[in-house]
Structure 1
Amino acid sequence: MRPPVAPYLTVSPALAAIAYYTAVFGAKQKAIMPAFDGLRIMHCELTINGGAVMLADAFPELGHTRIAVPGELVTASVSLEFEQADMVDDVFAKATSLGGKPETSPTKSFWGTRFATFRDPFGHRWLLNGPLR
C-alpha cells in the first residue's frame, strides 16, 4: 500500500535518476514501465525511506509535461524524515559526492533536527531531517 501522498517527479533521463536515487537513498524499484520508444520511462515507482516516489521522463509530445530548461531549478521539494540524525550526514555525503549540489550542509536546526538540503543532478530539491536526541 502506498502512503496517502507521494511525489511524482518528471525527470529526464529517468533511468539516470533511478540510478542516482538508488545509489544515494538505497531506493528499491517497485514498478517500472518503459515507453514504446525504448528510450524513456513512462512510469517508475521507487520506495525511498519507507515512502513512495514516482517518476517518469518528460513526454512533451503528449502535451502534459515539458522538458526542463538546462540549469532551471525545480520549484517543488521532497522532504525525508530519517530515524537517526547521522543518516542526514550519510545521505548528504553520498548525494553531493555523486553530483548533487549542496544548499545547506548538515546542521542542527532551530526546530530540533539534524537538517540538510541539496539539489540532485536533475534540479529536484531534497530536504533531509533526523531527530536530535
Structure 2
Amino acid sequence: MEDMHTRSSVMPTLRYRDAHAAIDWLCNVLGFARHAVYPGPDNTIGHAELTLNGGMIMLGSEKEDDYGKGFKSPGELGNVETRSSYIVVKDAEAVWHRAEGAGAQVVRPFQATSYGSHEFSVKDPEGHSWSVGTYDPWATHNM
C-alpha cells in the first residue's frame, strides 16, 4: 500500500482566463512544478497538473461548456471567493519575497503566528487566494 502522505488524495482545481500565465505565476512565484500540461484548442490549456512538496493542484482554461459555465473567477464575482488554498513550505519568507517581487496583491502580510507558523496570503493575477506558510497540520501538535 502506498504512503498517502507522499501523494495528494484531495486536489484543488481551478479555471483561469489565461491558464498559461497562471501556470507561469504559480511555478515562478509560489514554487509549483509542472507535472503535466495538456494543450487545448486555440492556445488554451485543456488540463494541467502542478505539484508542490507531494501535493497537487489541477487547472485549465475557462470553458463555455455545460460544466465550465458553473465556474466563475473571483474577478467575475466582485472579488468574492468561496475557497482558498494553503500551501506548506519550508521557507515562507523566500516565497513572500518572490510574491512581493511579482507584485502580488497582499491579503495578509508576512507574519509569525501564535501557533508557530510564518505565513502570508496573496491573490494570484486572476484573484484566487493563496496562503503560504510553514504550518504543517500533519505534524504532532501539543494542545
Check whether TM > 0.5: yes
- SS of match in other structure, 2:96: helix
CA contact (8 A) 1:59 1:65 kept: yes
- Segments ≥4 residues shifted beyond 2 Å: 65-68, 70-75
Question: d(CA) in 2 for partners of 1:31 and 1:112?
Answer: 34
Question: d(CA) in 2 for partners of 1:127 and 1:16?
Answer: 19
Structure 2 residue 38 is the aligned partner of structure 1 residue 22: no
Summarize the alignment of residues 13-52 of structure 1 with structure 2, pairs less than 5 Å apart: 13-35=18-40, 37-52=41-56
* Matching residue of 1:116: 120
Cα offset for 1:74?
Answer: 3.5
* Matching residue of 2:58: 54
Q: Name the Cα RMSD after superposition.
A: 1.9
TM-score (norm 2): 0.78
Query: Deviation digits for residues 53-99 of structure 1, max 9, x if unmatched?
Result: 11001102x1222453286343321101123xxx1111122123213
- SS of match in other structure, 1:38: helix
* Matching residue of 2:86: 79
* Matching residue of 1:65: 68
What amino acid does structure 2 have at the position aligned with 1:5? Answer: V
Cα offset for 1:27?
Answer: 2.1
CA contact (8 A) 2:14 2:60 kept: yes
Sequence identity (%): 27
Partner of residue 101 from structure 1, selected from 97, 105, 126: 105
Cα offset for 1:127?
Answer: 0.9
Question: d(CA) in 2 for partners of 1:99 and 1:73?
Answer: 20
Alignment gaps of 5+ in structure 2: 1-5, 136-143
- Give the aligned length: 126
Instruction: Label 1:71 to 1:15 Cα distance change in 2 as closer, same or farther (>3 A).
Output: farther
TM-score (norm 1): 0.83
CA contact (8 A) 1:92 1:118 kept: no
Question: d(CA) in 1 for partners of 2:30 and 2:48?
Answer: 16
* Matching residue of 2:138: none
